[in-house]
Structures are given as C-alpha cells and as structure tokens.
Structure 1
Amino acid sequence: MKNILVTVDFNRNEQLLVDKAFQLAERFDSKIWLIHIAAPNPDFVGYEVGPQCIRDNRASELRKEHKLLQEQSNELNKKGVKAEGLLIQGATIEMIMEESKKLNVDLIFAGHHEHSFLYKAFVGSVSGKILKKSKIPVLIVPLG
C-alpha cells in the first residue's frame, strides 16, 4: 500500500481521521494525500461572479483552507510520513474519485458524521456516496 487518500472537510474532528491514516501509513511506509474539495467557483455552476467583495472573501477562504492543508501535511512530514495536501475545487465525490485514480491511491480514508434523518434524506452522506462510487477500498472512520 503506497498511497493513502484522506478526505478532509475542516468541519470537526478530522484530526482523528488524519491520526488513523498516519498510523497506517507509518506501518506500511505509505504516502498520505490530504485532499479537501472546495465548492466550485460560482461561474462554474452558471452564476455571475458577483461583486469584488464576494470574490475577495472566497479567495480568502481558499487561502485559509490551503494553509491548513499545508500545515497538516508539514506536521505529518515532520513525524516521518510523506504527505502532501491538495485543495481542489469541484463536485466532491467526482473529484475524490478522479484524484484517487490520478494518484494511484490504494485506500481512501473518509470520516463519517452522524446526521438527522432529514439531512440524510435530502443531502445524503459523503462517506456513503464514496462507498457506492469507489472501486478502491474505503475506510470509514466515525467522527461523532
């Protein structure tokens, strides 16, 4: 197992997910790819870009998320596990599947948050959708 993809959403408890991936990567001398899928640009989904303040705010969010990914990957590198962070804009599930193929990933780590029935009915679960679409083994870590 040479490449592990870890999906990071910056909502909560992803450190547990990163720690579990680290334990496995350390044992198998694997590389960890931390990936965060950001929402696509508004013009990608058919909306006008909008005022400059909205574009500036979006750019600031993306810089913050990129910095967090770099900090996490630097921390893993300091501990002796090769790691890189990727910030990609697009549709979450499709981008995870696409990057998994590009990076020749052997295992996908995804966190699972418990949600209400209504949330599941209307939005669904990212981890569940990854399980359905992936041809690569997926490890789901309960995050609360």
Structure 2
Amino acid sequence: MKKVLICIDYNPTSEMVANSGYELAKSLNAEVCLLHVIADVQYYGVQYPTFMGYNGFDAEVDLNINKEMKRVAGNFLDTVKTHFKDPKVETKVLEGSTADMILEYASHWNANTIVLGTHSHSILEKIFIGDVASKVLKDTKVPVYMVPTKE
C-alpha cells in the first residue's frame, strides 16, 4: 500500500497543502498521515482567522508548556482530519527540528511520498534560518510533492 505523508504547519496556507496532498493520496489510493512538527512554541502565538474549520487555540494557553502545545497541535490535526471526513487519516505530532523530524518520520512510517508547502522566504531569511523544504529535498530518500503557497 502506498503512503502519503502530508506535512502541515500552523498557517492558513496549510489548507492548500493539506487539500492538495489529500487529493494526491486519494488518486493513488494511498494511506494518509498528517504530520505536524512543533519546532518553536512562539509560532503558535499568531492568531489567524479560522481555516479548515480550526478556530485556533485558547489565548490563555501557557506557551512554555510542551504538553499543552502537543495537545493544541493534536487538536489542530484532528480538526484537519475532520475536514477530510476520512476516519482512516492518521495524525502525528512530533517535536524537534522540522526538517529532521519530517525525514525521520517519513522513514519510520515508510512513506512513499512527502507533501510539503513552499513558503516564499527571502534569500537572507533562507541564509539565516534555513529552509525546511530545501533540507527535506536535499536529504530525502522518497519523492517530495511540493505545493506552492505564495499568494
């Protein structure tokens, strides 16, 4: 059975990534796993408007508590799963370096394809903080399906 690992972050552009990845998986009759990596808890302080039915987290969450962040991320993935109306979709929340965790879990889960969004970052931003998609592409052993998210 084919397996498609859809990597989404806490950003409204994840809706495009998730939907494109899910469509790809269904066209391949593949299993689906939604993966979210918690890399920097400060990132979750951004309050976006509702996307894919997810309203965001309670503003009173203590962002220094990893257990709470895992709960918040798990709730996010469960909401995305509900968006697909597919009980067979798996979800996984990991903590660590985003690119490393994506590659490690793709190997562990035996993914045949990794789905990623491509955010537009400036050259300077890539030099200073790196780029998850670039690192995944450089080190992957399976095909990567890139979804452009630039508006």
TM-score range, shorter chain: 0.7 to 0.9
Secondary structure at 2:142's aligned position in 1? coil
Residue 127 of structure 1 deviates from its aligned partner by 0.6
1:93 is aligned to 99
2:26 is aligned to 26
Task: Note if contact 2:63-2:69 (Cα within 8 Å) is conserved in structure 1.
Answer: no
Structure with greater helix share of residues: 1
- Residue type of the alignment partner of 1:38: I
1:129 is aligned to 135
Q: What are the residue-to-residue correspondences of 1:108-119 with 2, within 5 Å?
A: 108-119=114-125
Task: Note if contact 1:93-1:129 (Cα within 8 Å) is conserved in structure 2.
Answer: yes
Quote the Cα distance in structure 1 between the aligned partners of 2:18 and 2:93. Answer: 16
Quote the Cα distance in structure 2 between the aligned partners of 1:113 and 1:119. Answer: 11
Name structure 2 gaps, 5 residues minimum. 42-61
Report the structure number with the largest CA radius of gyration: 1
1:6 is aligned to 6
- Residue type of the alignment partner of 2:22: F
Instruction: Give the TM-score normalised by structure 1.
Output: 0.80
Is 1:103 aligned with 2:109? Answer: yes
Secondary structure at 2:6's aligned position in 1? strand
Runs of 4+ in 1 over 2 A off after TM superposition: 53-56, 58-62
Name structure 1 gaps, 5 residues minimum. 42-52
Quote the Cα distance in structure 2 between the aligned partners of 1:81 and 1:97. Answer: 25
Quote the Cα distance in structure 1 between the aligned partners of 2:64 and 2:120. Answer: 32
Q: How many residues align?
A: 130
Residue 91 of structure 1 deviates from its aligned partner by 1.8
- Residue type of the alignment partner of 2:81: S
Instruction: Give the TM-score normalised by structure 2.
Output: 0.77
1:62 is aligned to 70
The CA RMSD over aligned residues, in Å, is 2.1
